[in-house]
Structure 1
Amino acid sequence: MIQDIGPKKYYNEYHDKAPDEKGRILVYRGSEVLISHKEDGQIFFPALSDFSGCEMNYTYLFAINEEEFYLGEPVEWTIPETYHFEHVRQFRLARPRELAFAGITGHQLYEWYQRHIYCGACGVRMHRDHKERMVKCPSCGNMVYPVISPAVIIAVTHNGKLLMSKYAGREYKKYALIAGFNEIGETIEETVHREVMEEVGLKVKNLKYYKSQPWPFTGTLLMGFFCELDGEDDRITLEEEELAEAGWYSPEEVPEDEERIALTREMMTRFKKGEYML
């Protein structure tokens, strides 16, 4: 999965520090990132030295091993030679994996900072804290920390088949599993039952937790569950605003996982190989 960057290690502790000449600078423009490619196609990000003579604000983000990454927010600048902006969706396939993970995780933090420039309580411009990753209103004292949205990925099985679906109205057109966000006041297990009922009109039983995954593309913490259909009536009632289609598929019909970055596809592959069947 995209966060599996071993043997390298991701360190997300916040530090109030400025970049040195080796610090990697992540510059975003909406859904785009400033990036370049080596001759072999691998990606790399600019260093502080690439912005000599530019006016830019820097915020420490995280480190991977000894390499530090900073959010760069230009004030007066010129795009460095050999660099250009690309859509962050390219991180789904980009290599090396640790830089793809850094790029999309940095974008998640960039979006959080962008959405909290002003206080949601009184409208005053927020200040970034120097001790922890937090923004604080100097007027009313409102403090805001990064918000992570919990969600579930659900592999429903029945009579040797897997329930797969396709989203409605999204760019992603491949098969996926039932998924949805946790709501206030419910357990994550209750989310599983509710989402399956809402999207395909089915009841499930025998929930088995599989594993979790941070998914920076949507700022989500995904939690995967395998479960069984409760009963023998497998007729699907499709929620057409959420799903374009849904159906029961044998292991041979489950597509291969070409990207190897998502919890959803890993769970589908486990079923395909017969490694996780209830």
Structure 2
Amino acid sequence: MIQDITPHHLYNEFTPQSPQSGDLIFAFCERKLLADLSGNDCRFPLWEDVFSQVSDTASLIWLFSLDQISCFLLMDTELTLPGNYDFHSLREIRGREPKHQIFAAMTAFHLYDWYRNNRFCGRCGTPVVPDPSRKERMLSCPHCGNHIYPKICPAIIVGVIDGERILLTKYAGRNNPNYALVAGFTEIGETAEETVMREVMEEVGVKVKNLHYYKTQPWGMASDLLIGYYAELDGDGSITLDREELSTGLWMDRKDITLEDEDFSLTREMIVRFAKVGRDVLR
């Protein structure tokens, strides 16, 4: 999956650094990121490419380290760069190489979305500032003392199994030909396992049992932490779709699954794993 970047490592401990030559710069415009996609690899600007255009260091935010390289978010700054740099959608960038930098870019978007949505205190309306002590990743209100931390939304994704079949779906209102699995956000006062049972019933109208945890995935594009499960159909397998959420819901025999693992998403990995081992995913 996208976070599997060994031997590289993303260090998310909050230890802010000053920019230096070779550091990566992530500059977003809404859901687009400045990058050069003209070659085989995706290239992001380096500090030496942009430093002459950064007049206000307050617009430069230290994010994390990728191996020994610091990564920065550049906010509210128009850049003019030579060559083939342009703003590209996250979907254009997500399948590119080098993989460890793509993972860093998606994680950077998670933080960019948090910073841009929290410029003012939600309690009193005062502009917020970074943690004055520089000890943690937090925004602080200088008026009322409110503290705001990055938003991480737990969500489940579940492969519902019936013998040698798996329940596949497609989202409504999206131009995406790929199959997905039932998924949804955890509600207040709810366990992840309860989310699985509720989402399956709401989206496709069936019951499940015998839940088996698989693994998790950070999904920065939606500020999610995805929690993957497999579960066994409990009773009638007749599908009743929630048409507001899904356009398609069907049972597919594992021998008919033609997808290959693209080494990016938890969804694809779980579907391909079932195609290979069948109901052994429930062991």
Would you call these one fold, judging by a TM-score over 0.5?
A: yes
**Residue type matched to 2:72 in 1?**
Y
**Residue type matched to 1:10 in 2?**
L
- 1:27 to 2:31 alignment: no
- Equivalent position of 1:2 in the other structure: 2
**Residue type matched to 1:42 in 2?**
D
- Equivalent position of 2:188 in the other structure: 184
- Equivalent position of 2:81 in the other structure: 80
- Equivalent position of 2:15 in the other structure: 15
**Residue type matched to 2:52 in 1?**
G
Give the whole-Å Cα distance in 2 for the aligned partners of 1:11 and 1:50.
24
How far the C-alpha of 1:91 sits from its partner, in A, is: 2.8
CA contact (8 A) 1:154 1:225 kept: yes
- Equivalent position of 1:165 in the other structure: 169
Give the whole-Å Cα distance in 2 for the aligned partners of 1:253 and 1:91.
30
- 1:224 to 2:203 alignment: no
- Equivalent position of 2:104 in the other structure: 102
User: Helix, strand or coil: the match of 1:53?
Assistant: helix
Q: Percent identity?
A: 42
Q: Which moved more, 1:237-246 or 1:255-264?
A: 255-264
Structure 2 residue runs without a partner (length 5+): none
How far the C-alpha of 1:174 sits from its partner, in A, is: 1.2
- Equivalent position of 1:271 in the other structure: 274
1:69-218 paired onto structure 2 within 5 Å? 69-75=71-77, 77-82=78-83, 83-129=85-131, 130-218=134-222
CA contact (8 A) 2:16 2:63 kept: no
Q: Which moved more, 1:252-261 or 1:157-166?
A: 252-261
How many residue pairs end up in the alignment? Answer: 275
How far the C-alpha of 1:215 sits from its partner, in A, is: 0.8
Deviations 1:119-155 (A, max 9, x none): 1111110001122110011111110000110011111
Give the whole-Å Cα distance in 2 for the aligned partners of 1:178 and 1:52.
45
User: Helix, strand or coil: the match of 2:18?
Assistant: coil
Deviations 1:92-127 (A, max 9, x none): 211110111111111110010000001111111000
Structure with bigger helix share is: 2
CA contact (8 A) 2:261 2:268 kept: no
Give the whole-Å Cα distance in 2 for the aligned partners of 1:53 and 1:245.
51
User: Helix, strand or coil: the match of 2:260?
Assistant: coil
1:245-256 paired onto structure 2 within 5 Å? 245-256=248-259
Instruction: Give RMSD over aligned pairs.
Output: 1.5
Give the whole-Å Cα distance in 2 for the aligned partners of 1:20 and 1:183.
43
CA contact (8 A) 2:156 2:228 kept: yes
- Equivalent position of 2:46 in the other structure: 47
Give the whole-Å Cα distance in 2 for the aligned partners of 1:101 and 1:148.
16
Give the whole-Å Cα distance in 1 for the aligned partners of 2:268 and 2:275.
10
Give the whole-Å Cα distance in 2 for the aligned partners of 1:52 and 1:139.
33
**Residue type matched to 1:12 in 2?**
N
Deviations 1:207-255 (A, max 9, x none): 0001111111111001111111112x11111111011010110012223
CA contact (8 A) 2:130 2:139 kept: yes
Structure 1 residue runs without a partner (length 5+): none
How far the C-alpha of 1:52 sits from its partner, in A, is: 3.8
How far the C-alpha of 1:79 sits from its partner, in A, is: 1.4
Give the whole-Å Cα distance in 2 for the aligned partners of 1:216 and 1:70.
16
Give the whole-Å Cα distance in 2 for the aligned partners of 1:15 and 1:37.
31
Give the whole-Å Cα distance in 2 for the aligned partners of 1:171 and 1:10.
32
The alignment's TM-score, normalised by the length of structure 1, stands at: 0.95
Match of 2:260 among 227, 251, 257: 257
The alignment's TM-score, normalised by the length of structure 2, stands at: 0.93
